A = this chain, B = another copy of it.
Amino acid sequence: MRRSSSARIGVAGAAETDAAARPVAPYERAPERRRRELLESALLEFSTKGYGGARMDQIVGRTNSNKAMLYHYFGSKEELYIAVLEEVYAGIRRSEDEIDFDGLSPPDAIRRLVGFTFGYYIDHPSFVRMINNENLHAAVFLKRSKSVAALNTSIIVKLGRILQRGIETGDFRKGIDPTDLYISITGLAYTYVSNRHTLSIVFKRDLFRPSMLQARRRTMADMVLRYLATGR
């Protein structure tokens, strides 16, 4: 019943808030379009209100469908949430699969990886919020997902290759675990985006000012490269 859908959900930060709001013509017979429309609306809802705060009515209200359709396609609130979660994970995996580090020097490759990671979070606030939600619930929904088993971590493989090349060129030191490093990179980027509202209040700075984003990008790359650097 659940089709593997190649279309992407919430690709851009701006798009994902707008897309669901603009309704298309009613009564159009296009199941896949409808399903997607519902999924996008659900993403918006779950990612801004959390699982418990999300309302099926709201999700349907932004679309051209009705509640019976929503249930017809997704079965229940929980299944809908899981479908959204799977979409969101599939989205980042696809993006990661597309990056190519091959023409770059190891330090430049690292810079690109850091930049990509930060950029992806910034462009996909819903992704960030869904992850937070999942962790709030100790990932019970993710565990229930069947497609999660298929989650590859090709990015770790790619990072491993970069490190290896860096060692060979003498740019990087040995003994760095790629997963551990990836978690560091993710952490530096993720919290900045995830916690931007509270951090902005506590530190009385707007963390999303262009100049601030720029500075952060530099700090991050700097920190990672200095961490990897040989010598001294």
Contact = CB atoms under 8 A, between A and B. Distances in A.
Contacts of A231: 232
A52 interface: yes
Q: Which of the listed residues A50, A135, A179, A189 has the most CB atoms from chain B within 10 Å of its own CB?
A: A135
Interface stretch (A25-33, A106-114, A126-134, A159-167): A126-134
Interface stretch (A35-43, A63-71, A216-224): A216-224
Interface string A97-135: 000000000000000000000000000000001011111
B184 A142 contact: no
A136 interface: yes
Given A190-B191, A191-B186, A191-B190, A131 B198 contact: yes
Contacts of A132: 132, 135-136, 194-195
A196 interface: yes
A174 interface: no
A166 to B, nearest CB: 15
A131 to B, nearest CB: 6
A202 B222 CA distance: 27
A55 to B, nearest CB: 9
A52 to B, nearest CB: 2
List 7 tightest A-B contacts by C-beta distance, closest first. A52-B53, A139-B197, A52-B52, A187-B191, A50-B50, A132-B132, A223-B227
Interface of A: 47-54, 129, 131-139, 142-143, 148, 151, 153, 156, 179-180, 183-184, 186-192, 194-203, 205, 215-216, 219-220, 222-224, 226-227, 229, 231-232
